Chains A and B, each alone.
Chain A
Amino acid sequence: MKPNRLQSTLAGIGIAAALAASLAWGQSRPLRVGMTLSDIPTTSGQPNGGFEGYRMTGYTLYDALINWKLDNAKAPSTLVPALATSWKVDAKDTTKWLFTLRKGVKFHDGSEFNADAVVWNLDKLFKKDAPHHDARQRAQVAGRILSLKAWRKVDDYTIEFTTHAPDSTFPYQTTYVFYSSPAQYEKLGRDWNKFSQQPSGTGPFRLEKMTPRERAELVRNSSYWDAKRVPKSQRVVLLPIPEPTTRASALLSGQVDFIEAPPPDFIPRLKSQGFQITSNVYPHIWPYFMSFREDSPWRDLRVRKAVNLAIDREGLVKLLGGFAAPAAGAVDKSSPWFGKPTFIIKHDPAAARKLLAEAGYSDSKPLTLKVMVSPSGSGQMLPRPMNEYIQQNLKAVGINLELVTQDWEVLRNCRRAGAGSPICQGVHGINNSSATVDPFSAFGRIYSSKAIPPKGFNYMYYSDPKVDAMVEKSNNIFDEKKRDQLLGELHAYLVDQAVDVWVVHDVGPRAMSKQVRGWVQARHWFQDLAPVYVAD
């Protein structure tokens, strides 16, 4: 019997539908990711492990009220509506914000996301007497949403936030808070440890299985609220491989498909074997933060400029196989906050020598700077060869750079405690890389005198009324363009004052097999794994 036209049409539709389905859902091969972390970041809501934790078990399993736009490699990432569809500040009282929540969003366990869930989660983090308060989760995020004072449900899909003082950067701060399911917490007997084994968020992936220190298996959340971000991979396996050479070997031997931070000396080999290598500048700075306390030579502007001019950043980038971008300030030139500094940071040893001579230093009376460095750490790149290179650069203009090596945690503790504290062992500065993701992380928490320890991260004890005023003013400008302009002026001022030694920005290299598709390396610390898959 010959098939009639209807039959052929139906068969055609069937094949087309099957093809479409296979395109949409068919990536059956798991995406195996080699992380640099030594363990699976915590999965109960607020991940540990810094921004890598946010990338791996934060933005995969959860959403914030506002997410970052991570699908563009060409421009700095911006904010996009997520669990909140819109937000606005109260024109009469600028400490009040109204967030409208997205309707129809479900947690992985099927329960509904609404204003009650938001209040419950904020209580979990910041209300110490709440029965479900979790100090561990609080520690991961408390320092990132400092402006938040109070929160209140207005109706089922509206939340009102109150900040301590007017702060136009508040929406940025909300991107760090993730929302876990109250229903799942109840179901698991109100136990955060159990919850971390069977978490329930609203993100594009669900956690299927986790073995601490070994692997976490995430599977696609087919009913994710944002159709564009429904994962292309059916399954993503996260493997902690902290040793760089082990990570590269795992990629070369086909045990993983994608690794973060391949060691630079492996990159030529990986390239020659057809592996894909990507990199992109992102809001990261590898600096020396220096002490402005009494007796510090850093209080002299000439010294600050001289050190900045003595460093051959291009040479350093070459040393790193091209995987870094020379810094001309705290933020990259492509940032809307770069501004127009008049002090141009470049390699000019002659000018450096001249400035040092003016400041009273000479070969017979050389300047000695002691800087604490770490052998490794989050965002620290390759500290040893980089610091030794800078040591040589500074030697060439007559500065003795003494490197005090301490492990990463000691360095972090010194940063928290501030210059001059006993744990800092008498150093003039620290080499602690820093994130400049949002206006507060980039400026307020580092350069404002209000952030001097124990209250913040102004390790340097830097205090300049002009900077304080600009930070304060920027917090009160609710027009984004105008605020960016003011932040540009603030940044230009900081560069002209040569407040820190800004050396390079990391470009976050990644390596992946030929079969990996869909990866877009956004100009951000966070990245989106949802569109990434391994082609059959």
Chain B
Amino acid sequence: MLYYILRRVLYTIPIAIGVSLIVFTLVHLAPGDPLSAVMGEVDQKMLAEMRASFGYDKPLPLQYLIWLGSALTGDMGYSLRTGAPVFGTLIDAAANTMVLGVAASFVGFLVGASAGMFAGYHHGTWVDKAVSAAAIAGVSIPHYWLAIILVIVFSVQLGWLPSMGAGAGASVLSWDAWKHMLLPAIALAAIPCAIVARTARACVMEILSMEFVEALRARGLSERRILLHVSRNALPTVLAVIGLQFAHLLGGSILVEVVFSWPGTGYLLNLAIFDRDIPVLQGTILLLALFFVLTNLVVDILQTFADPRISRA
């Protein structure tokens, strides 16, 4: 087992290098000059000088090696646009995305699981139909569209919640921060909420048909207690689903973050693309790609614990 885990971890290294190579190549294949972000009104001659001073005149393979060398030591360079270190910028953005991801998962889990379990328990009634319809709508409606509708209703028409930004930079626990988080979290939560609701409903229905439920009823337990037992049995599956959704949310959502100008990784990526801020672009894509590589690694290792046959294969 240990040997397998070690091998699996070592495999990650060539994968990560491959990912970094693809990231670098893709970024440099895109049309446009990497210096566009810093250039004001400079002519071709000055442009050539600038290119040399930033090292963009070197052959691409050499640029890649220089970049990889520094990235390995945690130095991902400086934003061409702002001059801020890319690593710090990425950490800030990732923290914002994480906060939003946690909030959205929480909303998604709470609403999705309770609605789904309730619908499953009252299978066939109008409540069940309403929840199922809402769940289908939840997975089908594009979340950026939902985001715009939320802004129109809650910010513009009702004026209850702010339409953009993450607030004045106070603590995450402040009311100001919560207010700013609410709409993007709801927009992001729609899909996980719907998926969780459907899973919970199916799960509860399946458990309800099991013999132990009959046995509980025969022993004279109240319906409320039975629902509690059923919910507890459904919970592991629902948690597994929300776990996957959470990992997905951490990747950031470009569209929702852009609509709300939420300063996370998705928004950062979008800005970096339009500004041709190559160091930030490379850093952000690399971070997101490595995040998925790591997620896969963790899942693989966890699966080994769950099913030891995998490590022998």
Contact = CB atoms under 8 A, between A and B. Distances in A.
Nearest to A425: B31
A455 B258 CA distance: 38
B46 A143 contact: yes
Contacts of B40: 46, 48, 50, 139-144
Contacts of A417: 44
B127 interface: no
B178 to A, nearest CB: 15
Given A213-B268, A255-B155, A135 B50 contact: yes
Interface in B174-228: none
Interface string A278-306: 00000000000000000000000000000
B82 interface: yes
A486 to B, nearest CB: 24
A242 to B, nearest CB: 8
B274 interface: yes
Contacts of A211: 169, 263
A85 interface: no
Given A213-B271, A243-B259, A253 B83 contact: no
Contacts of A249: 151-152, 155-156, 163-164
A410 B46 CA distance: 18
A39 B156 contact: no
Contact of A136 (B83, B89, B258, B274): B83
A50 B39 CA distance: 9
A238 B85 CA distance: 22
Between A136, A240, A423, the greatest number of chain B beta carbons within 10 A of the residue's beta carbon is seen for: A136
Contact of A250 (B31, B54, B164, B263): B164
B130 to A, nearest CB: 30
Interface in B1-34: 31-33
Between A135, A239, A416, the greatest number of chain B beta carbons within 10 A of the residue's beta carbon is seen for: A416
B285 interface: no
A477 interface: no
Q: How large is the interface on B (under 10, 10 to 19, 20 to 34, 35 or more residues)?
A: 35 or more
Nearest to A406: B31
B307 interface: no
A241 B32 contact: no
Contact of A455 (B44, B89, B275): B44
B42 interface: yes
A416 B47 contact: yes
Interface residues of A, number: 54
A42 interface: yes
A407 B275 CA distance: 11
A212 B89 CA distance: 8
B165 A239 contact: yes
A513 B117 CA distance: 47
Interface string B62-86: 0000000000000000101111110
B38 interface: yes
B168 interface: yes
Contacts of A407: 31-32, 274
B261 interface: yes
A457 B163 contact: no
B36 A42 contact: no
Contacts of A423: 31
B32 A410 contact: yes
A412 interface: yes
Interface in B75-117: 78, 80-85, 89
A456 B155 CA distance: 47
Contacts of B31: 406-407, 410, 423
Contacts of B89: 212
A209 B78 CA distance: 20
Contact of A252 (B53, B156, B275): B156
Interface in A178-211: 192-193, 196, 209, 211
B44 A454 contact: yes
Nearest to A249: B163
Interface string B140-183: 00000000100110011001001111101100000000000000
A254 interface: yes
B52 to A, nearest CB: 10
Contacts of B151: 246, 249, 253
Given A48-B40, A50-B40, A255-B155, A39 B271 contact: yes
A215 interface: yes
Nearest to A134: B83
Given A139-B35, A246-B261, 10 more contacts: A140-B40, A241-B261, A243-B258, A243-B261, A246-B163, A250-B163, A416-B42, A416-B43, A423-B31, A454-B48
10 contacts: A40-B82, A48-B40, A140-B38, A143-B46, A209-B169, A253-B151, A409-B32, A413-B36, A418-B44, A455-B43
3 smallest CB-CB distances across A and B, nearest first, come from: A454-B44, A143-B41, A140-B40
